[in-house]
Amino acid sequence: MEVRLLVSKWCPVCPQAETVWSEVAKRHPMDYQVLDIADPAGRALVAGLRIRTVPALVVDGKLTAVGVQSLGDAIKIVDHAA
């Protein structure tokens, strides 16, 4: 499973999303990356999926969620995608 969390330096809640998803990545095997939308890889993903807000979660190439999920909701997303 490929999980990409799109964030931005100016986003006030992105650090909270990073904390949640880093914990999920410790508990579940996945290819997890945090991508800043100002970086080329992040910009490409944003453009390709027409993402308009961060934090945004992309699982296996599909926009799956936006905003900050609770740890329980994040685990449910991963379990459902597996």
Asked whether residue 81 carries a pLDDT value surpassing 90, the answer given is: no
Asked whether residue 82 carries a pLDDT value surpassing 80, the answer given is: no
**How many structural domains compose the chain?**
1
Residue 14 domain flag: no
Residue 18 domain flag: no
Segment 40-69 shows an average pLDDT of 96
Residue 33 domain flag: yes
Residue 65 domain flag: yes
Tell me the residue range of the domain where 65 lies: 2-9+24-81
Q: What number of other Cβ atoms are within 10 A of residue 77's Cβ?
A: 18
Q: What is the pLDDT of residue 44?
A: 95
3-state secondary structure of 5: strand
Per-residue pLDDT band at 70 (split at 50, 70, 90): very high
C-alpha to C-alpha distance for 67 and 44, rounded to whole angstroms: 20
Whichever domain contains 52, its CATH number is 3.40.30.10
Residue 59 domain flag: yes
Buried/exposed code over 21-60 (b: 16+ C-beta within 10 A; e: otherwise):
beebbeebebebebbbbeeeebeebbeeeebeebbbbbbe
Task: Report pTM.
Answer: 0.94
Residue 36 domain flag: yes
pLDDT per position as a tens digit, 12-39: 999 999 999 999 999 999 999 999 999 9
